[in-house]
A and B are shown apart, each in its own frame.
Chain A
Amino acid sequence: MSTEAALRRVPTWLLVAIVPVVAVIAIVVTNFVSSDQQSAATGSATAPDTVVIKNFSFSPKPITVKTGSTITVINDDNTTHTLTANNRAFDTGDVGGGQEGRITVNRAGTFAYHCTIHTFMTGTARVTP
Chain B
Amino acid sequence: MSPRKPLLLLVGAVAVLASGYVHYYLYFKGGYRNIAPDSVAGLTISRAFAFNAIAGPVIAWALVVSLRVPKLAVPAALAGLGFAAATLVAYLLTRTVGLLGFDDNQLTWEAVVAFGAEVAAIASLGSWLVIQWTHRLAWFEAAPSGEA
Contacts and interface: CB of A to CB of B under 8 A. Distances in A.
B6 A78 contact: no
B25 interface: yes
Interface in A29-47: 30-31, 34
B31 A7 contact: no
Given A15-B68, A19-B17, A78 B30 contact: yes
A22 B17 contact: yes
B134 interface: no
29 contacts: A3-B6, A7-B2, A7-B67, A15-B64, A15-B65, A15-B67, A15-B68, A19-B17, A19-B60, A19-B61, A20-B57, A23-B57, A26-B24, A30-B29, A34-B25, A34-B29, A55-B31, A55-B35, A56-B32, A76-B31, A78-B30, A78-B31, A79-B106, A97-B31, A116-B105, A117-B104, A117-B105, A117-B106, A120-B102
Interface string B23-44: 0110011111111010000000
> Which interface class (under 10, 10 to 19, 20 to 34, 35 or more) fits B?
20 to 34
B67 to A, nearest CB: 6
Contacts of A30: 24-25, 28-29
B70 interface: no
Contacts of B7: 3-4, 7
A26 B98 CA distance: 30
Interface of B: 2, 6-7, 10, 13, 17, 21, 24-25, 28-35, 37, 57, 60-61, 64-65, 67-68, 98, 101-106, 108
A97 B110 CA distance: 14
A77 B31 contact: yes
Given A19-B57, A77-B31, 6 more contacts: A18-B64, A20-B61, A55-B34, A78-B31, A117-B104, A120-B102
Contacts of A15: 64-65, 67-68
A118 B2 contact: no
Nearest to B60: A19
A79 B61 contact: no
B24 to A, nearest CB: 7
A34 B28 CA distance: 10
